């Protein structure tokens, strides 16, 4: 399926404490992808903990698509504002945007 929320990112000022909290409170497993990013396992939806300096300020839903350029055109046409242009990351490529109500989201495509 395309254009569905399939990932959620939690920004954190201390990824170790956030990871420990989720593990203790909910039993989720944590998979480390280096010193500033970890993936959640067992949360019911894929997700991550981001403690990079340029992380977003609030929890962010991420929408998977099959055509990133088309999704970007649709976002802009609907009144969304691009907050971070398309960029590569280990799992694929994505961009961030703010919808007219102020929420920041991302759209991504898996690397082929």
Beta bridge pairs of residue 110: 92
User: Residues 74-83, buried b or exposed e (16+ Cβ, 10 A)?
Assistant: ebeeeebeee
Q: Count of domains in the chain? A: 1
Whole domain around residue 76: which residue ranges? 4-110
Q: Is 0.85 topped by the overall pTM? A: yes
Banded model confidence at residue 112, pLDDT cuts 50, 70, 90: confident
Supply the pLDDT for residue 73. Answer: 97
| Dist. CA 37–CA 21, nearest whole Å | 15
Banded model confidence at residue 85, pLDDT cuts 50, 70, 90: very high
| Dist. CA 79–CA 65, nearest whole Å | 18
Query: Which CATH number belongs to the domain containing residue 37 in this structure?
Result: 3.10.180.10
């Amino acid at each position: 399926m395309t254009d569905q929320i399939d990932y959620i990112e939690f920004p954190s000022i201390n990824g170790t404490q956030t990871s420990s909290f989720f593990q203790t409170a909910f039993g989720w497993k944590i998979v480390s992808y280096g010193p500033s990013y970890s993936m959640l396992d067992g949360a019911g939806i894929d997700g991550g903990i981001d403690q990079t300096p340029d992380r977003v300020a609030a929890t962010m839903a991420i929408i998977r698509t099959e055509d990133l350029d088309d999704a970007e055109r649709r976002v802009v046409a609907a009144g969304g504002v691009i907050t971070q242009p398309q960029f590569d990351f280990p799992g694929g490529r994505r961009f961030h945007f703010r919808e007219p109500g102020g929420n920041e989201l991302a759209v991504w495509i898996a690397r082929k």
